[in-house]
Structure 1
Amino acid sequence: MANKATSRRGERVPAAVLPVARIVVDVPLAHLDRPFDYQVPSELDSTAVPGARVRVRFAGQLVDGFLLERAETSDYGKKLAYIEKVVSPEPVLSPEIASVARAVADRYAGSMIDVLRLAVPPRHARAESAAMDGEWVAPSVPDSSGWSRYPRGASYLEALRTGRPAHAVWQALPAEDWPARLAEVAAVVASTGKGVVIVVPDHRDLARLGAACAALIDGVVTLSADLGPSERYKRWLAVRRGVSRVVIGTRATAFAPVHDPGLLVVWDDGDDLHTEQRSPYPNVRDVLALRAHSSGAALLVGGFARTAEAQLLVESGWAHEIVASREVLRSVAPRVVSVGDNDWQEVKDPAARSARLPSIAFEAARAALQDSPVLIQVPRRGYVPALACGQCRAPARCRRCAGPLALPGGVEDGAPKPAHCRWCGVSEAGFRCQACGSRRLRGQIIGARRTAEELGRAFPGFPVRTSGADEVLTSVPSKPALVVATPGAEPVALEGYGAVLLLDGWALLGRADLRAAEETLRRWMTAAALVRPGNGRVVVIADSSLAPVQALVRWDPVWHASTELAARTELGFPPAVRMATIDGAPDALNALLDELRLPPTGEILGPVPLGEDEQKERALVRVARAEGRALAAVLAEAQAVRTARKEQELVRIKLDPLEVL
């Protein structure tokens, strides 16, 4: 007797109801960025559900894909191929996340399948069978009096309780317990039965936030890459199945498939860890804004500093700001003092001179060390990462590859290790300046390890701890100690630091980068916010006339963000405009630029050589912000034409990149 799933000739029979499946196939070619129709065989009718992973034949090969929806008919007009296999009936792709993935791809001139690789983790069959099942139990409404210090804090919480799509930009006070505040807003939303997604930059922030959320909410799911593929997929499935409706994590968590999202949060949106390093390079803040717009969820952008992008959300009226009054700010803000870069040279105290500290910074550290730790932020890691000729000050270069020379620190065969090249790694014991012939070297930049050495000699008897690339500390005890850290690696002192010293401000402010001033202020404020409230001291080694220094002294990130946005608007830089960088070999880049059909306000800048690599060039393309969608469509079309022609030269396109200059 013939099987019901096949005809008498052994041919497959389509499903009786909704026999057409629309599938996005895992083929990384821009001209194939659209759903394809396939026939659903009757034997797979029950398992080929929307959101399931499937395998299909595409151009003669068996490829993976996601089933988006089932339909009654197809517009293809020819015979459809059948789905070969349902990898798993688990509906891992929800309609909401599919819609967000499409919107993100369209915004960044990318393909939907590239976004889905970021949004949906790889399958692990054992984790899938062991994933938790159950029902979500909403928590009770927490005490949220901590938000009363902000005039609009109570009204924002009330909007969250009533389910309104309130969008806000929150400026946290110095020494604010921001994990507790975020846990409170999460509990408020979760108590209504809606979902919450909170994204933070790194694992140290995640650990603090996780502890705060666990105190108020049961069953919070934490997602991060260090969990491992199997455990992360298991937890991700728990969120997808509705076992938990509060999920916290790092970058990819922006796509977490929570049921009925009511609040989306990003903390410290200016951190570059929030920008994906894989195509199409989306930023968490923009992903959550798109998701809030499409789902009707509330959005909260929080941080000690404020980016120009967040300021644009406020000035456009799309978001309201949550900022404390100046009276409340003055009661908790540290005393910030700025000192010029060269003032330390006038210090008579030899200990202060050896530690490269101005007298005011030296005295602030010495006073704080009576009962608390002191944080010293150094912009560069390593020992002496940049050397120059001791006579003419020309940069010291390797005679083999012309790379920059550096001192590694440490001892080898009873003597200090010689300078080495940071490019080829070859030691340079017999340096000779190519400009003047001198054999003397001097440090251009002093790194964190050398600074720690000098501070140990300047403050004998106090332990010196370092936090940076080799070892990043999460926290330090509240005992007197010197903590030397690179930006972003500052550990939390349990009772706050007595003083924070921000060294070598010129190294951060002098970078050839559009966001140099904004990023410098963000790093300074993140470190300065770790001092004890009220009586902490902050000393910044930088010219007091500079805007970031003034903003830090007054603790006014809103003024700085407003000024920064106004300057970029006048100059025609993001976020006032939409801009794209296009990198590639000269011939391929010029061919693509020649074929671009830009919107009316479109403008091409360049191309110019990309750094020291003469084999690659970069062009900038900018349009008015209102034509950003059109620019993304044009760039996506250009990439589609290139892949359809099977062009071999790689051309990389980034929309709204961090590194414009």
Structure 2
Amino acid sequence: MDRPLPQLDRLFDYRIPEDLQGLVRPGCRVRVRFGRRKISGYVIGLKHTSDFDGKLLWLSELVSPQPVLTPEVARLARAVADRYAGTLTDVLRLAVPQRRKKVEDEEPGEARPVTAPAAVQWKRYIAGDAFLRALRAAKSPKAVWSALPGEDWPTRLAEAAATTAAAGRGAVLVVPDQADLDRLDAALGAVLGPDRHVTLSAQLGPTKRYRAFLRAARGEVRIVAGTRAAAFAPVAGLGLAAIWDDGDESHVDRHAPYPHAREILLTRAELADAACLVGGHARTPQAQLLVDADWAAEVTASRREIRSTAPRIVPVGDESDMARDPSGGTARLPTVAWEAAKAALDRELPVLVQVPRRGYVPAVSCQRCRARAVCPHCSGPLRLPGARRAPVCGWCGRAAEDFRCRECGSNRVRARVIGAERTAEELAQAFGATVVESTGERRLDVAPAGRSVVVATPGVEPPAPEGYGAVLLLDTWALLTRAELTASEEALRRWMHAVALARPDATAVVVADGGLPVVQALMRWDPGWHAARELAERAELGFPPVMKMAALTGPNGAPEKLAADLPPDLGAEAIGPIPVDEASERLLLRVRRRDGAALAAALAAANAARAAEKAEPVRIQIDPREIL
């Protein structure tokens, strides 16, 4: 029902009027009386008798006879709600799009046959061909796939989905964002042919999204690709649940109960006895845990195959590198990086330059004493929006025309961090080539061909038609020094996705110390080694995914009170609370991994009790991405 109150998170029985009998089916939308209101809900099941001792109310209205909630998705939604200490209503809001009556009135189409492709490129991977053979035989293999540099991963996913559909089963493919979905959509069309798959994403709009959803629910297509909400797509006879780049934060839903698409698909694969594929250039500790637990097999390439496809990766960042550099180590673009870019441009090949921040100069400090420059009005961080322009506050937006350092009184500032705009300006002067930017606000779909330089922020690097001749990873310290548990994991993921766009004969320069484990993993193109190392460190420190954690956020004192209501035998260790602002705080709870389900159940029960008492709400996040 559309009542997300935790204390009402259960099923309710209603009687079906005679005029609606035969029309009401499991999965259809209805309206019922609840208290003094009429609310919307879904029919979960039909039965002849009820266990309820009181008087049953009549079902008020059949909103639509079209079943939109399949039994499999209903079970999945319940499991996800339980795992994340949420309510079934909250999960169903993520799973089922809003109704569009005119779409339901459209005539359904017919399912078209799918032919299994040859998929010879999967043979480049150890266990890759075996994975496809298992899909072809309608089996349910589980795999963690480390893609090669330059891999056409949308086509590989399309081949796996087509192989599954040819065996008479369905497939759900989830990618981080719309740009990735557009590439996957094109690959599916090329491998499958027209009208054999649909895509689901918020950018489709309500009508197109609901039409695609109904095509899957009615069995017109067996393959659904989309962003995180597509993990709940009503595909009949699911045979493959796949996710690409599971470390991307876009896979975490911003709405309660904040589920991760990877965990939804893993749960769904278990419930439906389907195959599962977790793929990416990098590998998360969560994916490595699946391998270590023998739940999934590794699909990786041999060292020989990696050497033949990976570009030459050169680190420049330790003291000996800086001492040998003709610039004396003072230049932002080391000589090795400059020479690699120039060589690529001389060959009429594009160059990719990755910088961590957008804007011109997103952070400045005092020129004299190096203290952080802050706004005189609100103490927010100052930034430079352009050349020969006054600093502007990043919080209130006011220009600091008469800036004076609070420490020494100086009125001059220097760059602490250089953004994409300033980098593009510098490179245009250095190389005399066409320089374009690709950022979240202005994302390029494809890099310009020929002699050009693309300056991009992480995650929005456009592919080049024939690959980049050089890739430069600048200002790496901004990623490596982030105060987050996933700092090195995230840095490697972003670097690998950028380097994967290079040609095999290209040079990739990472401005970082080559002795760092994360740089070593990049140089050897060995994400599994780095993921195993990260997993071991987290096991030693007692952090996820080895341990289960929950973050409680609410008014001061409320998270602690909620934690105090948990059963003592659960053994939950409290960390904090940590102030969020003047009125709220955040408390972390940690338990053994095997007690994760018990922790979620206890938190859900305690939250329901608080809601029944009309106490102030506390936000619960299981396995929060941000811990430190």
Instruction: Confirm or deny that 1:194 pairs with 2:161.
Output: no
Pairing partner for 1:645 from 613, 616, 622: 613
AA aligned to 2:77 is A
Instruction: Confirm or deny that 1:630 pairs with 2:602.
Output: no
Instruction: Confirm or deny that 1:510 pairs with 2:481.
Output: yes
Q: Which residue of 1 aligns with 2:541?
A: 571
AA aligned to 1:138 is P
Q: Which moved more, 1:136-145 or 1:112-121?
A: 136-145
- Map 1:287-302 → 2, pairs under 5 A: 287-302=264-279
- Map 1:41-60 → 2, pairs under 5 A: 41-60=17-36
Q: Which residue of 1 aligns with 2:515?
A: 545
Deviation (angstroms), 1:660: 1.0
Deviation (angstroms), 1:591: 1.7
Q: Which residue of 2 aligns with 1:340?
A: 317
Q: Which residue of 2 aligns with 1:441?
A: 413
- Equivalent pair of 2:165/2:222 in contact (CA under 8 Å): yes
CA deviation map 1:96-116 (0-9, x unaligned): 000000000000000001000
**1:292–1:599 distance in 2 versus 1, CA, 3 Å:** farther
- Equivalent pair of 2:560/2:587 in contact (CA under 8 Å): no
Unmatched segments (≥5 aa) in structure 1: 1-24, 411-415
AA aligned to 1:635 is L
Q: Which residue of 2 aligns with 1:8?
A: none
AA aligned to 1:645 is E
Distance 2:406 2:10 in 1: 58
**1:599–1:319 distance in 2 versus 1, CA, 3 Å:** farther
- Equivalent pair of 2:327/2:334 in contact (CA under 8 Å): no
**1:243–1:353 distance in 2 versus 1, CA, 3 Å:** same
- Equivalent pair of 1:55/1:63 in contact (CA under 8 Å): yes
Q: Which residue of 2 aligns with 1:145?
A: 120
The DSSP-based 3-state class of the residue aligned with 2:498 is helix
Q: Which residue of 2 aligns with 1:474?
A: 445
Pairing partner for 1:275 from 244, 247, 252: 252
Instruction: Confirm or deny that 1:39 pairs with 2:15.
Output: yes
CA deviation map 1:203-241 (0-9, x unaligned): 111111111111121321111111110111011101100
The DSSP-based 3-state class of the residue aligned with 1:36 is coil
Pairing partner for 2:587 from 601, 619, 623: 619
**1:405–1:469 distance in 2 versus 1, CA, 3 Å:** same
AA aligned to 1:442 is R
Distance 2:621 2:569 in 1: 18
Instruction: Confirm or deny that 1:457 pairs with 2:457.
Output: no
Distance 1:247 1:470 in 2: 28
Deviation (angstroms), 1:161: 1.1
**1:485–1:189 distance in 2 versus 1, CA, 3 Å:** same
Instruction: Confirm or deny that 1:331 pairs with 2:301.
Output: no
Instruction: Confirm or deny that 1:523 pairs with 2:500.
Output: no
The DSSP-based 3-state class of the residue aligned with 1:208 is helix
Deviation (angstroms), 1:286: 0.4
Deviation (angstroms), 1:46: 2.2
Distance 2:507 2:56 in 1: 71
Deviation (angstroms), 1:650: 3.1
CA deviation map 1:378-418 (0-9, x unaligned): 000111111111111111111111111111116xxxxx321
Pairing partner for 2:94 from 111, 118, 134: 118
Given the two structures, how large is their TM-score scaled by the length of structure 2?
0.97
Q: Which residue of 2 aligns with 1:420?
A: 392
AA aligned to 1:471 is R
CA deviation map 1:131-163 (0-9, x unaligned): x52332222221111011112111111111111
Deviation (angstroms), 1:640: 0.3
Pairing partner for 1:214 from 163, 176, 189: 189
**1:433–1:379 distance in 2 versus 1, CA, 3 Å:** same
Number of residue-to-residue matches in the alignment:
624
- Equivalent pair of 1:223/1:235 in contact (CA under 8 Å): yes
Deviation (angstroms), 1:476: 1.6
The DSSP-based 3-state class of the residue aligned with 1:442 is strand
Instruction: Confirm or deny that 1:182 pairs with 2:169.
Output: no
The DSSP-based 3-state class of the residue aligned with 1:654 is strand
**1:482–1:162 distance in 2 versus 1, CA, 3 Å:** same
- Map 1:308-323 → 2, pairs under 5 A: 308-323=285-300
Q: Which moved more, 1:183-192 or 1:218-227?
A: 218-227
Deviation (angstroms), 1:344: 6.7
AA aligned to 1:651 is V
CA deviation map 1:453-493 (0-9, x unaligned): 11111111x10010002211111233110000000010000
Q: Which residue of 2 aligns with 1:15?
A: none
Instruction: Confirm or deny that 1:135 pairs with 2:106.
Output: no
Distance 2:155 2:20 in 1: 48
Q: Which residue of 2 aligns with 1:407?
A: 384
Deviation (angstroms), 1:594: 1.9
**1:344–1:294 distance in 2 versus 1, CA, 3 Å:** same
Distance 1:244 1:341 in 2: 54
Deviation (angstroms), 1:348: 4.9
- Equivalent pair of 2:610/2:617 in contact (CA under 8 Å): no
- Equivalent pair of 1:581/1:654 in contact (CA under 8 Å): yes
Deviation (angstroms), 1:51: 0.5
**1:372–1:353 distance in 2 versus 1, CA, 3 Å:** farther
Deviation (angstroms), 1:616: 1.8
CA deviation map 1:66-125 (0-9, x unaligned): 110111111110111111101000010000000000000000000001000000000011
Deviation (angstroms), 1:615: 2.1
Deviation (angstroms), 1:545: 2.0
Distance 2:219 2:569 in 1: 44
Q: Which residue of 2 aligns with 1:659?
A: 626
Given the two structures, how large is their TM-score scaled by the length of structure 1?
0.92
- Equivalent pair of 2:30/2:62 in contact (CA under 8 Å): yes
Work out the percentage of aligned pairs sharing the same amino acid: 53
- Map 1:478-497 → 2, pairs under 5 A: 478-497=449-468
AA aligned to 1:440 is R
Q: Which moved more, 1:81-90 or 1:434-443?
A: 434-443
CA deviation map 1:516-565 (0-9, x unaligned): 110110000000000002x1111111122221111111111010000000
The DSSP-based 3-state class of the residue aligned with 2:46 is strand
- Equivalent pair of 1:110/1:279 in contact (CA under 8 Å): yes
Unmatched segments (≥5 aa) in structure 2: none
Q: Which moved more, 1:556-565 or 1:144-153?
A: 144-153
What RMSD over aligned residues (CA atoms) do the two structures have, in Å?
A: 1.5
Q: Which residue of 2 aligns with 1:241?
A: 218
